[in-house]
Structure 1
């Protein structure tokens, strides 16, 4: 089992090279890219056929019985499903169903070798119970869903860091079988983590597609999207408004026959146009600040007095005898009032 046939090794290497080329490409909708995706899918399918022919994996074996150099072949169904999702097809549902089936086979094979953790087994049971509504987190409790999302993000981050650490020294991987085996198992664990996210995404996309209107039968002319165009008379009349004419503002203003080709504005004099050349964009002030304050006072919009200045008593002019006598009489009247009305005399409730 440790000796791998050359045909399987060559098919796997060819499929991996195409997959890496696809992952580094940015043009996903071009015919050349789609042809490369189909070629990579065919290569992985060839790998799966060879694995079945030579019985590379057997349900009677355990994980320890699988050679280290054969562990990466457990990812064949995962790689195939990931590439199938990249296909551009009119029948998107069929593409998603095909990818979903490959993901299920990938998890089923790992389950036979007891390679799934307890949390992964729990998610697998949830998926088998309801594939259409599968979710890695709770959909009813927002707090629990948030905690689960954070936990899975941390797990994914830890797996990526572990893979980077193991891949830093390729020479050591060739000489250390245990380290290379740990790398392969970590890669499989990371792919399992990504599989559940893909299954959740597929379930959501299938739910959205189930609500989409069915496509028209082949050969049937599709109706216009605009109802006004649909019921347009043959005489050319339409209730649809004319489009904006901004596209024609750069052409000539009048045709040879004198017909206006674009909107324009008539000005009274040439001087009006000249005066507006160096005019500022904003409106200039029409009065000064002092003029504005005077206008507000005239309209009664400003109230004078009050504030701290109101508590300052004006000084009495000593030379003004009448004013001094008035202040003296006012002070005497206050003193007489205080003598006749001692403090507390008005309180008739709390007397002893």
Structure 2
């Protein structure tokens, strides 16, 4: 049986190491997380770790009925798979953020649950925490102090673990490293990821209400009113009569046409031309008078006025005309013109 499983175990170790090398290169990269290169590597690493997870599940390496001392040294590193997948999930920039943190939360909680089962941690999940509100200000201060103290303590422990991990990694590179060094290295790595998982789960808990609020605001936002379609500018061909309109309409169906009468009626409707059916009020311009059929010739008006005065025997008008005749009799034409003086 051992011989039949050996190729499978070798394949698992190869896939896991490839994913771990890619994960370390991502963490040490100076490129932005949202760069195409980093995002491509994140997806590749996740694919490798997912493949390794399937192989671990198929081989049945872990069991909730055993202690950590019963797990083979080389198998300890596979406990990191959900933590590594959770860390990589949070580095994704494409997709809905809510879905990303939900997936990362599942991975980290699975990792912490397994660590609890093997006695490597005593993490209390939110579902099991007692929801007790502080009774007074002193209780609130005590909770705040304890929370801050636990964060400081985790930070110190994390720093020490990283330093220890760096030293153990140097020893691991020695081909003569014994099993004790390997086991210590893997357990230290697991403890380091436990601290990271706790911090990330706390961050996720704080981010989730914010994302829910933003989703609510986005949902309640009124959609902007659709802009009224702008009538496209079209040429208008003026035709002389309805016959030409029918001809042009048939020849150029895409161009609207109108007769002269339709054009004139449209001008009246737009207020550019006067409406002949309405009596004009106030003084008229020459154009309005012409369009209305009125004649403003001053000479004709004067002749009409003279004829009217004669018919009515206006004494003032007759007296004025007599004085004009006497003046003409006494003064010959051209009198007073310096050019005609002798």
Matched, 1:68 2:73: yes
Q: TM-score, normalised by structure 1?
A: 0.54
2:201 to 199, 202, 216: 199
1:27 partner SS: coil
1:132/1:36 CA distance change after superposition, 3 Å: farther
1:56 partner SS: coil
Shift of 1:107: 1.3
1:132/1:41 CA distance change after superposition, 3 Å: farther
1:19 matched residue in structure 2: 23
Instruction: Give yes or no for contact 1:173–1:179 (8 Å, CA) kept in 2.
Output: no
1:38 to 31, 37, 43: 43
Shift of 1:105: 0.9
TM alignment of 1:170-319, pairs within 5 A = 170-172=172-174, 174-214=176-216, 223=224
1:103 matched residue in structure 2: 108
1:5/1:208 CA distance change after superposition, 3 Å: same
1:163/1:147 CA distance change after superposition, 3 Å: same
Instruction: Give yes or no for contact 2:22–2:41 (8 Å, CA) kept in 1.
Output: yes
Shift of 1:155: 1.4
2:14 to 10, 15, 33: 10
Shift of 1:214: 4.1
1:5/1:157 CA distance change after superposition, 3 Å: same
1:70/1:214 CA distance change after superposition, 3 Å: same
State which structure, 1 or 2, has the greater radius of gyration over its C-alpha atoms.
2
Residues of 1 paired with 2:108 and 2:215: CA distance? 28
More helix, by proportion: 2
Residues of 2 paired with 1:13 and 1:166: CA distance? 17
Residues of 2 paired with 1:14 and 1:179: CA distance? 22
Q: Deviations over 1:127-153 (max 9, x none)?
A: 3335999xxxx9754333332222222
1:152 to 148, 154, 163: 154
Residues of 2 paired with 1:108 and 1:196: CA distance? 12
Residues of 1 paired with 2:174 and 2:49: CA distance? 28
Q: Kindly tell me the number of residue pairs found equivalent between the two proteins.
A: 216
Instruction: Give yes or no for contact 1:216–1:222 (8 Å, CA) kept in 2.
Output: no
1:173/1:158 CA distance change after superposition, 3 Å: farther
1:79 to 84, 87, 106: 84
Shift of 1:223: 3.6
Q: Which runs of 5+ in 1 are unaligned?
A: 225-229, 235-352
Shift of 1:231: 10
Instruction: Give yes or no for contact 1:132–1:203 (8 Å, CA) kept in 2.
Output: no
2:165 partner SS: helix
1:14/1:170 CA distance change after superposition, 3 Å: closer
2:124 partner SS: helix
Instruction: Give yes or no for contact 1:77–1:105 (8 Å, CA) kept in 2.
Output: yes
2:96 matched residue in structure 1: 91
1:52 partner SS: helix
1:60/1:99 CA distance change after superposition, 3 Å: same
Instruction: Give yes or no for contact 1:37–1:87 (8 Å, CA) kept in 2.
Output: yes
1:175 partner SS: coil
Instruction: Give yes or no for contact 1:41–1:83 (8 Å, CA) kept in 2.
Output: yes
Residues of 1 paired with 2:175 and 2:48: CA distance? 26
2:117 matched residue in structure 1: 112
Shift of 1:49: 0.3
1:102/1:216 CA distance change after superposition, 3 Å: same
1:328 matched residue in structure 2: none
1:173/1:153 CA distance change after superposition, 3 Å: farther
Residues of 2 paired with 1:146 and 1:70: CA distance? 35
1:24/1:222 CA distance change after superposition, 3 Å: farther
Residues of 2 paired with 1:194 and 1:214: CA distance? 30
Q: Deviations over 1:24-80 (max 9, x none)?
A: 222211233222211111111100001111112223332222111111111000000
